Chain A
Amino acid sequence: MLRALRRCRPGPVPLPALPPALGPGLGPGLGPGLCPAWAPRAVPVRGRKTRHDPPAKSKAGRVKLPPPVDPEELLVVLERYRQHRLVLSALRAEFRAEVLQRQREERLAAGGSAEELEEHRRLMAWNEEQNARQRARREERLRKEEEEQKRRKLEIAEKQARKMEAFLEEKEKEVLQLQEEAKNFITPENLEARIEECLDNPRNYNFAIDKDGRIVKRTVLS
C-alpha cells in the first residue's frame, strides 16, 4: 500500500525522552499510538554550516523520523485530490476547446471573403471526387490482381498434382517391371540348375562384320 500508511503501523519505535514542553509544538493531528518522537518545529535551513561540514556532537544520537500520518485523514485527502484533479482536467479541456474555437474563428475571419471560401470548398470537393475515382480504380486493379494470383496458384497446384501422379505411375511401372524380371533372376537356389542349363546349351556369340555393316552370325564353330 502507500508508503505513508506504512508509517502508521505501531512498530518498534525508538522513543527518546520526550521534551516536557511539547504543547503547541505538536504537529498537526497527532493520532493515537503513532511515533510521537518527531519534535522539531523548525524547517531545516542551511544557516551557518554547509553540507560538507560534519554534524555537531549534540546531534550524535539524533534519530530523524518522518512526520506522522493519520491513515483516515490520508484516505480522505487522497479522495479529495482525485476529485480535484478530475475537475481540473475537465476545466482544462474546456478552456482548450475555447482556445481552439477562437483560433478557428480567427482563421476563418482572416481567411478572406465569401468567394474565396466558396472556391476553397469547391476545390476541396473536386479533390475528394478525384480521390474517390483513384480509389475505385485502385481497388479494381487490386481485385483483378488477387484473382490472377489465385488462378495462378490453382494452376500451380494442379501441375504439381499431375507431376506427382506421373511420377508415381513411373515408379509403379518400374516396380512391376522389376518384379517381372525378378522371375528370371539367378538365386542361390537356382544357381546349380542355371549353371547346368548354361553348360548344357552352349551359345555362340561370335559374328563377323564387314565394312558395309553386314553381320554374319553363322560361323565355322557352330
Chain B
Amino acid sequence: MVQLGSRLLRGRGGHVVIRFALGGCTNRPFFRIVAANSRRARDGKYLEQLGCLDPLPNAHGEKVAGLNLERLRYWLGCGAQLSRPAEKLLGLAGFLPLHPMTVTGAERLRRRRQREQQPEAAPADGSAEPGTSTGTSTGTAP
C-alpha cells in the first residue's frame, strides 16, 4: 500500500532530479546516482538507479564511479534536474561540460599552492641574508 505523506500529495508540485543517495556504513559512505522525485527523502524510494560512486579512493588511488549513460539521456530528455555534485561528476566524466566551479576551484587551489611556495622561497632567501628581514611576506597579491 502506498503511504502518501502530505509532502508527496499530488497537485503540489515536485520534479524529477538526478542526485546522490547516500548508503554504506559508518565511516564508509557510498553513493548511488539516482533519478527520484525531488520531494522524496534522500535515501528513499527512487524512480531508477543510474549509477554509483565510491567516494573513497581505492588501492590505486582512484575514485570509481559507474554511469548508465543511455538512461541518463532518457531522463534528461524527460526534463530531469541535476543536483550540483551530480553535475560536477558528470562534467568530470565528460558526459556534460565541465562545471564552472570545478575549474574555479582548481584555479584557486593552484593559486594558493603558488602563494604557499613563494613564502617558502622568500624566507629561504631572506634567512641567507644577515638578519634584517623579518620574514613577513604574507598577503602578497595573488
**Interface of A (DSSP majority class):** helix
Query: With a CB–CB cut-off of 8 A, which chain A residues contact B100?
Result: 77, 80-81, 84
B112 and A88 contacting across the interface, CB-CB below 8 Å: no
Query: With a CB–CB cut-off of 8 A, which chain B residues contact A99?
Result: 73-74, 77-78
B77 and A84 contacting across the interface, CB-CB below 8 Å: no
A96 and B108 contacting across the interface, CB-CB below 8 Å: no
Is B99 in contact with chain A by the CB < 8 A criterion? yes
Query: With a CB–CB cut-off of 8 A, which chain B residues contact A77?
Result: 100-101, 104
A84 and B99 contacting across the interface, CB-CB below 8 Å: yes
User: What 1/0 flags go to B103-142 for Cβ under 8 Å of A?
Assistant: 1100010011000000000000000000000000011011
Query: With a CB–CB cut-off of 8 A, which chain A residues contact B44?
Result: none
Q: Which residue of B lies closest to A24 (CB)?
A: B116
A29 and B142 contacting across the interface, CB-CB below 8 Å: yes
Q: Which of B73, B97, B104 is the one whose CB lies under 8 Å from A98?
A: B73
A98 and B77 contacting across the interface, CB-CB below 8 Å: yes
Is A87 in contact with chain B by the CB < 8 A criterion? yes
User: What 1/0 flags go to A63-89 for Cβ under 8 Å of B?
Assistant: 000000000010011001101100110
Q: Which of B77, B103, B139, B141 is the one whose CB lies under 8 Å from A95?
A: B77
**Interface size, A (range):** 20 to 34
Alpha-carbon distance A30/B141, docked complex (angstroms): 8
Is B76 in contact with chain A by the CB < 8 A criterion? yes
Q: Which residue of A lies closest to B111 (CB)?
A: A29
User: What 1/0 flags go to B73-93 for Cβ under 8 Å of A?
Assistant: 110111100000000000000
Is B65 in contact with chain A by the CB < 8 A criterion? no
B104 and A92 contacting across the interface, CB-CB below 8 Å: no
Is A91 in contact with chain B by the CB < 8 A criterion? yes
B97 and A32 contacting across the interface, CB-CB below 8 Å: no
A31 and B142 contacting across the interface, CB-CB below 8 Å: yes
Is B8 in contact with chain A by the CB < 8 A criterion? no
Is B96 in contact with chain A by the CB < 8 A criterion? yes
B104 and A73 contacting across the interface, CB-CB below 8 Å: yes
A88 and B97 contacting across the interface, CB-CB below 8 Å: yes
Q: Which of A80, A87, A95 is the one whose CB lies under 8 Å from B73?
A: A95
Is A112 in contact with chain B by the CB < 8 A criterion? no
Alpha-carbon distance A81/B104, docked complex (angstroms): 11
Q: Which residue of A lies closest to B100 (CB)?
A: A80
Residues of A in contact with B (beta carbons under 8 Å apart): 22, 28-32, 73, 76-77, 80-81, 83-84, 87-88, 91-92, 95-100
| CB-defined A-B contacts under 8 Å, sample of 24 | A28-B112, A29-B111, A29-B112, A30-B142, A76-B104, A80-B100, A80-B104, A81-B100, A84-B99, A84-B100, A87-B96, A88-B96, A91-B96, A92-B77, A95-B73, A95-B74, A95-B76, A96-B78, A96-B79, A97-B77, A98-B73, A98-B77, A99-B73, A99-B77
Which 4 A-B pairs rank lowest in CB-CB distance, beginning with the nearest?
A95-B77, A99-B77, A80-B100, A28-B108
